[in-house]
Amino acid sequence: MRRVVVTGLGMVTPLACGVEPTWRRLLAGESGVKTISHFEVSDLACKIAANIPRGDGSDGTYNPDQWMEPKEQRKVDEFIVFAMAAATQALDDAGWHPTSYEDQITSGVLIGSGIGGIEGIADASLLLKDRGPRRISPFFIPGRLINLAGGYVSIAHGLKGPNHAVVTACSTGAHAIGDAGRLIALGDADVMVAGGTESPINRLAIAGFAACKALCTAFNEDPTHASRPYDKDRDGFVMGEGAGVVVLEELEHAKARGAKIYAELVGYGLSGDAFHITAPSMDGDGAYRCMSAALKRAGMTADDVDYINAHGTSTMADEIELKAVERLLGNAAAKTAMSSTKSSIGHLLGAAGSVEAIFSILAIRDQIAPATLNLDNPSVETPIDLVPLTPKPRKIDAVLSNSFGFGGTNASLVFRRYAA
């Protein structure tokens, strides 16, 4: 199979618009969690979320007008604009702007979302009830469909290769990168723009996730301390929004054009729990099997993994993942670091896996494990270094990034420092 490397990164997160400002603020221990201020929360159990910092585009703020024309923005839900921002950054970073027909047909896109345009669907439902079907816009459907994130990106950047999308709840971003890597490995494309995007911070989605008892409700008055994976006071996840997109490229294609190579995508594993619609299987077997499959694909053992970016949502599931990782690592547990960056940016649902894959890649680049914020009192003992409170410089040559989603869908990615 052909080798696949990462040559471009792009993201919009609750910390900043852009990879470098986000990474800087992550390593500085900043939190993107705030009190929700753009809609009524008095009757909601959860009143906090990790919103993207919006502004004029300066100082790491997100200005949608830089990424999509205002008249187009009006037609779509924000997850599409986030994807445009992250994909454009990633392609600029990779220096890949295909103009010839041959380059265009070998460049594809695979961007997913967990729930897509839920806000637009909610708004249109009210309009239908109040005003009737003649008031529903022709842009209602195309502006809500999950694969239209990739559709818009392909049109804007002339990507005529495989055009695909993933919908696997909170595993979406990881599955998108893994599947896109396989399309390159098998020769369906030479370049893939891959990742996840999500814009779930609205009354309907907060009400829905709160009803699942999945959201943090005990820290409404203290938002920056709300997301606390592995801590004994954790009580649910904090919803975030944003997008993470990478440019994956066949190794020889990247070398031939002198592209900068961040890392090699060496492993991808998938599994299903077949257990419960929202809870992971209690024995962590699904998590264990997808991590094992990713390492097997990479031709590596647990001993080779230096850093794990955990799914770690700040829920009851944290300990299940931790047990599965301990089982995977065995005697290597004591020399491995694992952190949850959701402690800083919240849970970006369908974008989580791709944003966290980028953090994992940057951990290799900068030889530093980002911290698990708010981990004051671990709820269980573990030999694994959970990198509490402050990031830790260390040797990092290989990373594993985990994502687990509602429906019992699991994905793990393994990246390794590129070596010829």
Q: Which stretch binds other proteins (CB under 8 A): 25-33, 135-143, 267-275, 405-413?
A: 135-143
Q: Which residue in the block uniquely carries the two structure tokens 């698990």?
A: 372
Q: Which amino acid is at 203?
A: R
* Residue number with CB closer to other proteins (137 or 377): 137
Q: Residue from 132, 133, 138, 258 that binds other proteins (CB under 8 A)?
A: 138
In whole angstroms, the minimum distance from the beta carbon of 89 to other proteins comes to: 24
How far from 232 is each of 140, 243, 381, CA to CA, in Å?
Answer: 44, 29, 11
Q: Residue from 1, 139, 257, 303 that binds other proteins (CB under 8 A)?
A: 139
Q: Which stretch binds other proteins (CB under 8 A): 57-65, 115-123, 138-146, 170-178?
A: 138-146
Based on the shown chain and the rule CB under 8 A, indicate whether residue 65 belongs to the binding site for other proteins: no
Can you tell me the distance from the alpha carbon of 345 to that of 399, in angstroms, rounded to the nearest whole number? 20
Residues of this chain, 237-256, that bind other proteins according to CB under 8 A? none
* Residue number with CB closer to other proteins (132 or 393): 132
Based on the shown chain and the rule CB under 8 A, indicate whether residue 129 belongs to the binding site for other proteins: no
Q: Which stretch binds other proteins (CB under 8 A): 83-91, 130-138, 217-225, 244-252?
A: 130-138
Query: Has 311 been annotated as catalytic?
Result: yes
Q: Which stretch binds other proteins (CB under 8 A): 65-73, 84-92, 160-168, 388-396?
A: 65-73
* Residue number with CB closer to other proteins (84 or 322): 84
In whole angstroms, the minimum distance from the beta carbon of 72 to other proteins comes to: 8
Q: Per-residue DSSP letters for 322-337?
A: HHHHHHHHGGGGGG-E
- For β-strands 398-405 and 307-309, DSSP reports them as parallel
Q: Find out whether 324 and 317 touch, Cβ atoms under 8 Å.
A: no
Order of strands across the sheet that contains 107-112: 163-164, 107-112, 191-198, 242-250, 4-12, 263-272, 409-416, 398-405, 307-309, 337-339
Q: Burial of 18 by CB count in 10 Å (0-12 exposed, 13-18 middle, 19+ buried)?
A: buried
In whole angstroms, the minimum distance from the beta carbon of 309 to other proteins comes to: 41
Can you tell me the distance from the alpha carbon of 7 to that of 263, in angstroms, rounded to the nearest whole number? 8
Based on the shown chain and the rule CB under 8 A, indicate whether residue 135 belongs to the binding site for other proteins: yes
* Residue number with CB closer to other proteins (28 or 155): 155
Based on the shown chain and the rule CB under 8 A, indicate whether residue 69 belongs to the binding site for other proteins: yes
Q: Which stretch binds other proteins (CB under 8 A): 136-144, 240-248, 328-336, 344-352?
A: 136-144
Q: Per-residue DSSP letters for 234-296?
A: --SB-BB-EEEEEEEEEHHHHHHTT----EEEEEEEEEE--S-SSSPPTT-HHHHHHHHHHHH
Query: Has 276 been annotated as catalytic?
Result: no
* Residue number with CB closer to other proteins (76 or 194): 76
Helix H or strand E encompassing 197 = strand 191-198
* Residue number with CB closer to other proteins (140 or 275): 140
Q: Burial of 134 by CB count in 10 Å (0-12 exposed, 13-18 middle, 19+ buried)?
A: exposed
In whole angstroms, the minimum distance from the beta carbon of 138 to other proteins comes to: 4
Query: Has 347 been annotated as catalytic?
Result: yes
Based on the shown chain and the rule CB under 8 A, indicate whether residue 70 belongs to the binding site for other proteins: yes
Q: Residue from 40, 126, 134, 419 that binds other proteins (CB under 8 A)?
A: 134
Residues of this chain, 141-170, that bind other proteins according to CB under 8 A? 142
In whole angstroms, the minimum distance from the beta carbon of 186 to other proteins comes to: 35
The first and second tokens of residue 126, run together, are 């009210």
Q: Which residues pair with 10 in a beta bridge?
A: 245
Based on the shown chain and the rule CB under 8 A, indicate whether residue 395 belongs to the binding site for other proteins: no
In whole angstroms, the minimum distance from the beta carbon of 66 to other proteins comes to: 16
Q: Find out whether 84 and 156 touch, Cβ atoms under 8 Å.
A: yes
Catalytic residue among 170, 175, 216, 290: 170
Angle at 31 between CA 25 and CA 35, to 5 degrees: 140
In whole angstroms, the minimum distance from the beta carbon of 383 to other proteins comes to: 58
How far from 165 is each of 123, 178, 179, CA to CA, in Å?
Answer: 24, 12, 10
Site string for other proteins, 21-60 (x = CB under 8 A): ----------------------------------------
Q: Which of 352, 280, 349, 271 shows the shortest CA–CA distance to 316? A: 280
In whole angstroms, the minimum distance from the beta carbon of 80 to other proteins comes to: 15
Helix H or strand E encompassing 86 = helix 78-94
How many residues are present in the chain?
A: 420
Give the catalytic positions in this structure: 170, 311, 347
Task: Give residues in contact with other proteins (CB under 8 A).
Answer: 69-71, 134-135, 137-139, 142
